[in-house]
Amino acid sequence: MGRITHPLGLDNTPNAALFADVDIFRARTRRWHTLKTMYRIMTVCTGNICRSPVGEYLIREHARQAGLEVEVASSAITDYEIGNPIDTRAGRILTARGIDPSGHRASRFVAEDFDRYDLILAMDTPHYLHLKQLARTEDDKAKIRMMRSFDPAMAGKNLDELGIYDPWYGQMRDFEYTTELIDTAARALIAGLAAEGDAA
Catalytic residues: 45, 51, 166
CA distance 163 to 182: 10
CA distance 58 to 42: 12
CA distance 142 to 122: 13
> Would you state the torsion angle of the CA atoms of residues 66, 71, 74, 77, taken in this order, to the nearest 10 degrees?
-130
Q: Which of 136, 102, 105, 104 is nearest to 120 (CA)?
A: 136
Residue 124, burial from CB neighbour count under 10 angstroms (0-12, 13-18, 19+): buried
Cα 53–chain centre separation: 10
Cα 123–chain centre separation: 6
38 DSSP assignment: P
